[in-house]
Structure 1
C-alpha cells in the first residue's frame, strides 16, 4: 500500500469496498449517501477502483449495475482494514500521550481542572484520559483549555488568554498535536 495515502482516502476506499461486498447491487446514490458525497464523486471513485482492477462492473438489469470486488479488491480491502486499524490506534495513543502531557503541565501551573474545547472522537479520548488521570473536566471558562482542532490539540492556560484577549481563539502554545 502507498505511504502517501491519506486516512480519508483509506477510509473512503474501505467504506466503498465494504459496501459493495455487502451489497453488489448497491446504487451510486446509496453509496453517495453513505459517504456523504455527491453521486458524481462516487462515480469518479468507482471508475478509479475499476481502472485499478479492484472492482468489476456488470449490467444487472436495464439501468442497474452490479459491482463485483475482484480478488485484488479483496486483498486491498484487507490491507486497508489493517492500515485503518493501525492508524486509528496510533492516533489514539498519540492523543492520550499529548493529553497526559497537557494534564501534567496544567498541574505544574497549579490548576486542578480543565475545559475541553472541541468535539468528536479526539475530544472524547481527551475527556477519558483526563478522567482516568483524576483531572476533572469542566465548562468553567477561566480554567485551562485543551483545544481540539481536527486531530490536533493544544493547551491554553488562562494567563495566556489574559495576555492576548483579542486572540482568544488561536492556539498560543504551539502545536501539541
Structure 2
C-alpha cells in the first residue's frame, strides 16, 4: 500500500469515529504536519469522501460521506492484503537468513528489537530450531517480550549468545556502531534486513560483476 493511501485510510478511520476531532488533533494523532493534514482533508473533500461543516466561527467539523465509508472499507481491505503479503515476504526472507545459523556455530540467539519485526523473527527462530536466549531494546527495557526480560544494549557483553540478530525497522546502522563499541564480533551479527549501506555495497558489487 502506498504512503498516500495509508494516510487517507488513517484519516478516514479517525473521522469515522465521529468525535468532532479537530484538524490539529488529527495532525498530532497521526504524526503529520498541520499543513499536510489540511492538504489531505481538502483532497478527501474534493473526492467526495469527507464533508466539511462549519460548526462555529473558525471551527470545522468533518463528516464521512457514504462514498467516504465505501472508500474506507476498500482501503482497509487493501491494507489487510498488503499486510499479509508483507508478513509472508518478511517471514521467508528471515527464514533464508536464519536457517544456516545452527549449522555455522551455535543456536543461542540474542535478539535486538521487540516490535513487530522481532515477533516475526522470534517465530522463525522457533521454526528453524534456534533458541531465543535474550532480547535487547533500550526503549522497552524492563518489560517482557515472549517471556524474556527486555534488556539494554550496554548489557550485551554480560550475556551469553552465539548470534546477535538485528530485528528492527530503523536505526540499524546506529545499533551496529554501538555493538562494535561493545566489542561484539561482527561475524556474529546477523542482519535480517539490508541497511542502505549494505544495499549500496550489493548493488555496487553487482555492477562491478556485470
Q: TM-score range by the shorter chain?
A: 0.7 to 0.9
User: Secondary structure of 1:115's match?
Assistant: strand
Q: How far does residue 134 in structure 1 lie from its aligned partner after superposition?
A: 3.4
Question: Residue in 2 aligned with 1:146?
Answer: 165
Structure 1 residue runs of 5 or longer lacking an equivalent are: 163-169
User: Secondary structure of 1:25's match?
Assistant: coil
1:67 aligns with 2:62: yes
TM-score, normalised via structure 2 length: 0.63
Structure 1 residues 83, 122: closer, same or farther in 2, change over 3 A?
A: same
- Higher mean C-alpha displacement, 76-85 vs 125-134: 125-134
Q: How far does residue 69 in structure 1 lie from its aligned partner after superposition?
A: 1.5
Question: Residue in 1 aligned with 2:15?
Answer: 20
Following the alignment from structure 1 to structure 2, what is the Cα–Cα distance between the partners of residues 87 and 18?
A: 17
Give 2:74's match in structure 1, choosing from 65, 68, 79: 79
TM-score, normalised via structure 1 length: 0.73
User: Secondary structure of 1:56's match?
Assistant: strand
Question: Residue in 1 aligned with 2:132?
Answer: 137
Following the alignment from structure 2 to structure 1, what is the Cα–Cα distance between the partners of residues 8 and 100?
A: 40
Following the alignment from structure 1 to structure 2, what is the Cα–Cα distance between the partners of residues 74 and 99?
A: 37
Q: How far does residue 161 in structure 1 lie from its aligned partner after superposition?
A: 6.5
Structure 2 residue runs of 5 or longer lacking an equivalent are: 135-155, 173-184, 190-196, 204-210
List, as ranges, runs of 4+ consecutive aligned residues in structure 1 with deviation greater than 6 Å. Answer: none
Q: CA RMSD in A?
A: 3.1
Figure out how many residues of one structure are paired with residues of the other and give that number. Answer: 159
Following the alignment from structure 1 to structure 2, what is the Cα–Cα distance between the partners of residues 92 and 161?
A: 26
Structure 1 residues 124, 148: closer, same or farther in 2, change over 3 A?
A: same
Following the alignment from structure 2 to structure 1, what is the Cα–Cα distance between the partners of residues 61 and 49?
A: 14
Q: How far does residue 131 in structure 1 lie from its aligned partner after superposition?
A: 3.3
User: Secondary structure of 2:32's match?
Assistant: coil
